[in-house]
Structure 1
Amino acid sequence: MTPPHDPPAQAAVVGTGRWIAAARALETARPDRLFNDPWAELLAGESGKATLEAADYNPFLPVRTRYFDDRILGAAQKHSQIVLLGAGLDTRAFRLPFPGSCTVFEIDYAEAFTEKEAILRTTPARCERRCVHADLSGPWSQALLDAGFDRRTPTIWVAEGLFFYLAEADAESLVCDTAALSAGGSTFLADLFGTGLLALEGMAPLVAARRSAGRPLPFCTDSPETLFRAGGWSESTVVQPGQPAANFGRLAQVPGARDAGQQTNLRTYLLTATL
């Protein structure tokens, strides 16, 4: 869960990126780490560390990162395009052993890349890497195409921690637009929250601020498969954190059945959709 405040979009992107980088740095320092991100501490900075220390630590964060890492690498053997939607301070182009033929496109606000590029300027990426400055709540497809995205090549789309920052209409548009840009055999990886998240006490300040300003609430859904099917993705599956495929010995195990255990609208969904 993100801290319950509601700064302007660009500031939220940068602040959240530092917080998530601090979580990656904390995981990297563990002897039993699930992944290694040697740049995370520098990217987090003091503000990212302070945000992480002020919040209740969520063990889901490293599990989510490792879960996506494994699935991206598994698909990358047969894909040559990877698009990180809302990339922020993501370092996968530097830390994952992608095939040299891969191209990683990172899409985010220009502000999200400023400090990242300064810190990583002398670090070679492990594949072709292209930064795309765009707002995913507005038109962004042409900017990606202008950066060399090939609509004929199967693509891995990754939306890690993104959907919560979109309004419902923007989330639906993103799902549709990625399907329209995708060749057959493409994959979409995302995490989505159930609607019960917005009813939690810790989210009350953000919800109240949005309603007071007449702004849409963050996007949550209890039917992620329906969202992607309506957007043009032919198949989708979901895994809940804590199930065997998304646990890594860090989370309490949850039942495999969707109608068992945890209250439905408080679930988190790790979704894989395909064309």
Structure 2
Amino acid sequence: MVDNAASTSLIPMLIAATESAMPAEKRLLADDLAIRTLPAGLRPLVRRQRTRRWLRRLMDRQDPGIWNSLACRKRYFDEQTAALLHDTEALVVLGAGLDTRACRLAAPAAIPAFEVDLPVNIALKQRRIPLPGNVVPVAIDFERQDLATGLAESGYRTDAKTLFLWEGVTQYLTETAVHATLKTLATAPSGSHLIFSYIRQDFIAGTNLDGCPAAHRRFVAGQGIWRFGLHPGSVSGLLAEHGWREVEQVGGGEYTERFLTPLGRGGERVPDIERCVTATKI
């Protein structure tokens, strides 16, 4: 995973803050903390309708629909997290970045939450959002350090029924690191939940860019920081290897039906290069 919080977390949080500033009947997200994760110079931009439209057009210029893709991903994680927290004894956010769910959703419910990320990312976030007492930062590198050890040293109980969130992370990891993480999660108690996102393998391979060639040039062909992908049909088997059952998988079509159409935004594009999965521990 890259070691620059700005490159991995800033854009999704800029989208979250911008959508949250829109009128309630049009917005995809309602994250009142998102604006606090942004550099001070960006915050006034999301408060102005004209600059909100400009930001979205700028982002969609090269990869049409990428704004909606990221916004819908965050909306899906928000809804699933809210729905599953009642059946949870602990929340673990893998690659937390600047995300605010532990503060917004777990803290009010008094559920122990653990935010796992690189030390530089954790330090950046703590400068912008002080963490509530029940939210514990866990500083590790998925590629080089043991996740189970880091969580245990931070007070995580392995017998706690846990909701694991793994948003926008797997593509930055090697296949070895993805399997190592799933191997650790395999020890979770039955009835635990996992929500994660992944990039399609055919996008990584360059055989199906779905109208987003600039993203492929930047993240795959250029910087080479997107390394791992999955075929939608292989997700269930991968999860089963580690004791998880796929409950649901969603992408562009489902996002349009669930989120955009009810807001009168059903004609807007959502590429299907990234998908989200909810799974339950067997």
TM-score normalised over the length of structure 2: 0.77
Tell me the matched-pair count: 249
Give the gaps of 5 or more residues in structure 2.
46-53, 61-65
Deviation at residue 94 of structure 1 after TM alignment: 2.2
Match for residue 51 of structure 2?
A: none
Match for residue 155 of structure 1?
A: 162
CA–CA separation in structure 1 for the residues paired with 2:81 and 2:157: 18
Residue 15 (structure 1) aligned with residue 7 (structure 2): yes
CA–CA separation in structure 2 for the residues paired with 1:53 and 1:29: 16
Match for residue 182 of structure 2?
A: 175
Residue 55 (structure 1) aligned with residue 59 (structure 2): yes
Match for residue 128 of structure 1?
A: 134
Residue 86 (structure 1) aligned with residue 95 (structure 2): yes
CA–CA separation in structure 2 for the residues paired with 1:97 and 1:246: 28
Give the gaps of 5 or more residues in structure 1.
1-7, 254-261
Match for residue 258 of structure 1?
A: none
Q: Aligned ranges for residues 66-215 of structure 1 at < 5 Å? A: 66-96=75-105, 100-121=109-130, 125=132, 128-138=134-144, 139-180=146-187, 182-198=188-204, 199=206, 200=209, 201-202=213-214, 203-209=216-222
Q: Provide, for residues 123-162 of structure 1, a one-character-per-residue CA deviation record: whole Å limited to 9, x for no partner.
A: x63x711000011223222011111111111100001111
Deviation at residue 43 of structure 1 after TM alignment: 1.6
CA–CA separation in structure 2 for the residues paired with 1:246 and 1:132: 37
Match for residue 27 of structure 1?
A: 19
- Contact 1:240–1:246 (Cα < 8 Å) also in 2: no
Q: Provide, for residues 211-270 of structure 1, a one-character-per-residue CA deviation record: whole Å limited to 9, x for no partner.
A: 7xxxx86111102212211222144431223327973125759xxxxxxxx99xx55322
Cα distance change of structure 1 residues 210 and 15 upon mapping to structure 2, 3 Å threshold: closer
Q: In the alignment, residue 38 of structure 1 is paired with which amino acid?
A: D
Residue 37 (structure 1) aligned with residue 31 (structure 2): yes
Cα distance change of structure 1 residues 205 and 76 upon mapping to structure 2, 3 Å threshold: closer
Cα distance change of structure 1 residues 133 and 111 upon mapping to structure 2, 3 Å threshold: same
Q: Provide, for residues 1-45 of structure 1, a one-character-per-residue CA deviation record: whole Å limited to 9, x for no partner.
A: xxxxxxx8212x332211111111111111133333233223222
Deviates more, 1:25-34 or 1:79-88: 25-34
Q: Provide, for residues 81-136 of structure 1, a one-character-per-residue CA deviation record: whole Å limited to 9, x for no partner.
A: 01000000011122226563411110001111222212223xx63x7110000112
TM-score normalised over the length of structure 1: 0.79
CA–CA separation in structure 1 for the residues paired with 2:253 and 2:123: 35
- Contact 1:239–1:246 (Cα < 8 Å) also in 2: no
Deviation at residue 53 of structure 1 after TM alignment: 7.2
Cα distance change of structure 1 residues 206 and 63 upon mapping to structure 2, 3 Å threshold: closer
CA–CA separation in structure 2 for the residues paired with 1:99 and 1:39: 14
